[in-house]
Amino acid sequence: MFWTSYFLAVLAIVLAWPVPILLSRAHWPARDPFTAMLLWQVIGLAGGLSMIGAMLVYGLEPVGDNLIAGLRALAGMVLYNAPTTSLGFWHLFALSAAALLTAHLVFTLLLTYYKIERQRRRHRELLALLASPSADGTGTVVINHDSPVAYCLPGGARSVTVLSDGLMAALEPAELRAVLIHENAHLNQRHHLLLWAFAAWRQALPWLPTTRLAQEAVNSLIEMLADDVALRTESKATLIKAIAIVASGSAVPQAAPLGPGGLPGAGLQLPDGAAGSGSASTTASRVSRLLSPRPPLPVGLRATVVAVCVLLLAMPTALLIVPGLLG
Amino acid sequence: MASLGELERAVMDLLWAGHEAATANTLRDMLAQSTAAHGGAAGHEGKDLAVTTVLTVLSRLEKKGLVERERGMRPHRYQAVSSREDHTAELMHEVLGSAPDREAVLARFIGSVTESEAETLRKLLGHS
């Protein structure tokens, strides 16, 4: 039982620091965004699991041979006032930290969900009054604004894709179709759930810089996934042109927020690199991926990554649960 | 009978167009007129519209912070809190802004791009 906590601690540290950094620098995710997305989710899940598991196993070490026996003994202490003398200071410290971290992660996840939902509801309320339904089908509305803007607001059956007048005017029908397919792909593939989970992960552990890397990588990967769906029916040239038109018309300085009615592109001078945020590099990597496509990941390599994913999740789970089931 | 959502929209359109405060009675008459103007079967629906329905719609809009009531005067007069353009700007600010938590609320076709990046893309556009 003792070595288990050390192994889990090492796994937690490796997943919290070097692995996300390496993955965020790798080039292969652009060739296989789906597998890369899977890997990011597994890193987050397995990282959290081994972090909490390591502390739990260490703290319960004196009272049980395995996690299940240990938790049973702990329940006896908490609920039935069984003697706690077998637990030293560091054991209690580790147990409290495990409980606090779990509560913190769950609470942040719920709080983030609540905040996002509240903002979406307000946005949807205003859209209901300001936007008019589009001829392009149900679930698509048009808002009266000059900048070329397209986005989707997820919300189950009330999900809506929003296009601006400026966008409709700037794009050819085929390009508009590519944009709509792209946005609908976000909705169909439930990308908002990924965005939510990784936003919460970053919110919960802001001192861990790799949570920012993970969020940026996920933001970028969902765009690639949606682009790939658009490429199934629309040509590459159409999609690139749509991206270029929308991007060149919607450039805004990222430091200063846009004032009411302020239009982008009016005398904005930004020094290079003044705004090296994730979304800017996302657009660049999307376009370069479309311009000079690289072959998809070989099947063998892809299978290896998937196997690593399974292993990463199975290992901490097995280490935590199996000894208890055997014992 | 039109749904509450449609009525909210119609009431806001009237308040935004009118630029001045209006009572529920006035709004009801204006709504009835505009439905009648559209003619046909819709005509009698407007007449059926009760003032209490308009008041319900107004209180819903008030809760959403879109409409305000002038205090101390009876009957109450209602007006829009801000103009249609301001509300559109508020929405677009939310869409175009770059706050990190915004990214999880909606998925934009193109994230914020820098001016230099936009320049590169414009050149690209020139070539294609």
> What is the interface pTM, i.e. ipTM, of the complex?
0.86
Residue B39 pLDDT: 54
A129-141 tens-digit pLDDT: 999 998 877 889 9
Q: Residue A67 belongs to what H/E stretch? A: helix A67-80
Residue A61 has phi, psi (to 5 degrees) of: -50, -45
Q: Say whether residue A194 is in contact with chain B using an 8 A CB cutoff.
A: no
Tokens of A212: 């920012």
Per-residue pLDDT for A82 more than 60? yes
pLDDT band at B47 (very low <50, low <70, confident <90, very high): low
Q: Between these two residues, B99 and A259, which has the higher pLDDT value?
A: B99
Average pLDDT over residues A172-176: 95
Predicted TM-score (pTM) of the model is: 0.87
Query: In angstroms, how far is CA A208 from the centroid of its own chain?
Result: 15
In this structure, the strands spanning A140-143 and A160-164 are parallel
pLDDT band at A1 (very low <50, low <70, confident <90, very high): low
Contact A283 B111 (CB under 8 A): yes
Our CA-based measurement puts residue A224 at a distance from the nearest CA of chain B, in whole angstroms, of 11
Average pLDDT over residues A91-109: 96
Average pLDDT over residues A241-269: 56
DSSP letter at B101 equals G
Contact B106 A125 (CB under 8 A): no
Mean pLDDT of chain B: 82
Alpha helix stretches (DSSP H) within chain A = 2-16, 18-25, 33-60, 67-80, 89-130, 165-170, 173-188, 191-204, 209-233, 236-249, 278-291, 299-326
Question: Judged by CB atoms within 8 Å, which residues 21-50 of B form the interface with A?
Answer: none
pLDDT band at A285 (very low <50, low <70, confident <90, very high): confident
